[in-house]
Amino acid sequence: MKILVFGSYNIDKVYTMPRLPKTGEDIYCTNYEVHVGGKGLNQALALARAGADVSVAGKVGSDGNYLTDYLKENGIDVSDIDFSGDYTGHTIIQVDPDGQNQMILFGGANQQITEDYCDRILDKHRDADLILTEYETSCVEYILKKAHEYGIRTAINPSPFVEKCKTLPFDCIDCLILNEYEGRSITGKYEYKDVIRALHELIEGEVILTLGSEGAMYFNGKEIYSSPAYKVNAVDTTGAGDTFTGYCLFSLLKGESPEIALKTGCAASAIEVTKPGAAETIPYKEEVADFLKNNQ
């Protein structure tokens, strides 16, 4: 099963904060670390650690080797990454003592993806079983339309939410995976069941709604399935959604039931939030299997 992640690659600059600053306030952080990140990178890693055969596409700058080397070490095919971006994308992430975060995103090379590059990549990957995108790159709509035209199954995590997410080419999306804030913003509905039903009316495929500490929901037009979140001591929630996305999607692709896919995604993200960082703390499938066994 071949998956192409057409996504973003960021250098994450992570500041541990005694609390998040108020407007106009200057405060010292208590720790600073640099990590690999970006939703594309994190989601590709989660898929690969779940056991998928993953290739990545996207754009970085000349210093992007830091990111591609990490992906390569994790068995991901990085040969299509374009290194001609002006600057590699980066994110400034502040994490508070409850593990909650605030991010400033600098798109950099992620926003320099062109239609010509998309054409080249999609022509090469016409045999992919799935293309996964998010909303941190340019050309997202073009990628979805072209992949759909080629008959490739598409999945998108429309994150971070921007107004343009309301006008995505929904008829070209087979699987929508998003959090409650994104779902509510796109549909204008509030109750989770209303949100997931309204999203399903837009795409008519599979919709997966993540609900933070309340777990996740799945709807494909028949029955709504849900899974509670596992109770853990969250240290850093950065990357939790990406971890869920990779594990849940791969489980569905393997033909597992929505209940199992939701549980697997929730278990993987529960493990991920117990350690500081994003990409590096995405668990391997053995850890997820053990966690599921011990938390039935």
Interacting residues toward ligand RIB by CB under 6 A: 8, 10, 12, 37-39, 42, 91, 103, 136, 238-239, 241-242, 278
The span from the CA of 144 to the CA of 272, in Å, is 29
Residue 133's nearest CA partner among 151, 158, 115 is: 158
Q: Which two tokens stand for residue 6?
A: 């057409």
In the bound complex, what is the minimum distance in angstroms from residue 37's beta carbon to ligand RIB?
A: 3
Nearer to ligand RIB, 58 or 239 (CB): 239
Nearest-Å Rg of the Cα atoms of the chain is: 18
In the bound complex, what is the minimum distance in angstroms from residue 240's beta carbon to ligand RIB?
A: 8
The span from the CA of 103 to the CA of 94, in Å, is 6
In the bound complex, what is the minimum distance in angstroms from residue 91's beta carbon to ligand RIB?
A: 4
Nearer to ligand RIB, 37 or 215 (CB): 37
- Asked if 218 and 208 count as a contact pair (C-beta separation under 8 A), the reply is yes
Nearer to ligand RIB, 12 or 174 (CB): 12
Sign of the dihedral defined by the CA atoms of residues 264, 265, 266, 271, in that order: positive
Question: Which residue lies nearest ligand RIB, judged by its C-beta?
Answer: 37
In the bound complex, what is the minimum distance in angstroms from residue 278's beta carbon to ligand RIB?
A: 4
Beta strands in 180-233 (DSSP E): 206-210, 216-219, 224-227
In the bound complex, what is the minimum distance in angstroms from residue 171's beta carbon to ligand RIB?
A: 27
Nearer to ligand RIB, 64 or 239 (CB): 239
Give residues with Cβ within 8 angstroms of 20, minimum separation 6: 94, 96, 100, 102
Nearer to ligand RIB, 226 or 238 (CB): 238
In the bound complex, what is the minimum distance in angstroms from residue 110's beta carbon to ligand RIB?
A: 9
Give residues with Cβ within 8 angstroms of 109, minimum separation 6: 9, 58, 59, 60, 61, 64, 82, 84, 85, 86, 87, 88, 89
